[in-house]
Chains A and B, each alone.
Chain A
Amino acid sequence: MKLTTSRTLQTIVLAMMVIGLIALALGGYLAPVSRYLLSPVIAGQTWLSVRFTAIQNFLSSPQDITSLRQRNTSLENEVSRLQTEIISLKQQIDQTRILSALVGFARTNPEYRYESASVIGRDPSPFVQYVIINRGSDIGLRRGMPVVTEQGLVGRIAAVTAGAARVQLITDPGSSINVRIDPARTQAVLQGDITANVSLSMIPQSAAVQTGDLVMTSGLGGNYPPDILIGQITGVRSQDIDLFKSASVQPVVDFSQIDIVLVITNFQPVDTKPLIPTPGTP
């Protein structure tokens, strides 16, 4: 009986302690106590967790580096491939732009038939201004045919083989072209020189020629068709003692950059040499 009473008392005391602790906890009175009790546990857990994570990373990182390197190499290859593709596409865009401009030129000058050709080289000698194109007599190109770009006159074919042709540029020292200056409609002669520039000579002193005037082929002499743009006058030189004026000309074609040209195939140059009287002939 006494034992039963004692146990009941213990149970009641325990229950009251538990209820008291719960009440203290709910009232927030146990927080400082729990902080003191839990702080070494948290510190220990943190210490262990940091070491475990470090060991885990150490054990698993080599595999990650290998896979990252593989991925990096793969991406670098992809970047290289895409860069190559971009360069190729840019080249295609440039070529398309040139061809489109050439088609535009051909449409605005429908009286001529054209063959396009790529510039594949320049004359090995620096004393002459010639370019080599990749089309020749196989497609009907002949000596003397004029060569143009969408901007204006380039020159004319000086020599032809089956698959290539040599084009004398208008900047060649041996080039001489009859031209017309607009709007004055004055005739003159355009000549190339050793500096790869062009200049006008034989301009009559009375002609009202000024900077900015356009220079076009006149068609005289039969070597070039008329009205093909050549350039613009950048300066006029005139002296009272001279019979003629001269002028410097800025060509519209950038001869250092020509890649694709058009050959006018239905223009046949006229050989006027037999018509020029020579001394001693009746």
Chain B
Amino acid sequence: MATFIAIPILGILLILQSAVVSRFPLLRGTAEPVLLVVIAWALQKRVQTAWQWGIIGGLFVGIASALPIWATLLIYAMAVVVALAIRQRVWQAPILAMFIATFIVTIFANGIAILSLRLSGIALPLLQSLNLITLPSVILNVILAIPAFYLIADLAKWLYPEELEV
């Protein structure tokens, strides 16, 4: 159930990202709701399907984007790895964990995108990429991290209800 529900949720978010969010860039950077939701899902305590969500998100974005599909899969796998690692270390302050994970994953994701394009023969200027895309994307993602985290926390509570001790 928790895996299957990723398909409509991430699908709708991808449509939203492609049709709406990408039209509101900050400099050249844009927010990435699909990535944020995958990070937020992996940070939830009782969630056991983080990898499935990461793979589905990576596949969806890979299909829609001109980036190589291996790059998007790698980005989303990295997002899950980072989120799971931070969940174990910053478990007492989940929203802080969300901020840290968003910051790290956005920078990693941009690095992988630049690397994949370089391997495809398109060399992007690093400093310009950092100033125009990476840093604005980090700001937008960190701003959207709060609503994304709380919405996904509610979804996780609904899908994984806490067991009551009698």
| A and B associate in one complex | yes
Any A CB within 8 A of the CB of B44: no
- How many angstroms between the C-alpha atoms of A172 and B124 in the bound complex? 11
Give the distance in Å from the alpha carbon of A214 to the alpha carbon of B30 in the complex. Answer: 32
CB of B90 within 8 A of chain A?
no
Q: How many residues of A contact B (CB 8 A)?
A: 22
A window 76-134: CB within 8 A of B: 120-128, 130, 132
Contacts of A220 in B (CB 8 A): none
Q: Tell me the minimal C-beta distance from B82 to chain A in angstroms.
A: 19
A194-B124 contact, Cβ under 8 Å, with A121-B18, A121-B22, A122-B18: yes
The yes or no answer to A158 lying at the interface (CB within 8 A) is yes
Check: A196 CB closer than 8 A to any chain B CB.
yes
Contact of A174 with B by CB under 8 A: yes
Query: Does A173 contact B66, Cβ atoms closer than 8 Å?
Result: no
One of B91-99, B128-136, B147-155 at the interface:
B128-136
| Interface residue stretch chosen among B1-9, B47-55, B115-123, B158-166 | B115-123
State the Cβ distance, A156 to closest chain B Cβ, in Å: 12
In the complex, which range does the number of interface residues on chain B fall in?
A: 20 to 34
Per the bound structure, the CA–CA distance linking A172 and B110 in Å amounts to: 17
Would you call the interface of chain A mostly helix, strand, loop, or mixed?
A: loop
What residues of B have a CB within 8 angstroms of the CB of A158 in the complex?
66
B28 contacts chain A at the CB level, 8 A cutoff: yes
Q: Is B137 an interface residue (CB 8 A)?
A: yes
CB pair A194–B66 under 8 Å, yes or no, is no
Q: 6 new A-B pairs (CB below 8 Å) besides A123-B64, A128-B65? A: A122-B23, A124-B14, A124-B22, A173-B122, A174-B122, A195-B132
18 sample A-B contacts, Cβ–Cβ < 8 Å, listed by A number: A121-B19, A122-B22, A123-B66, A124-B14, A124-B32, A124-B64, A124-B65, A125-B61, A125-B113, A126-B28, A128-B66, A128-B117, A130-B65, A132-B64, A158-B66, A174-B121, A195-B128, A196-B28
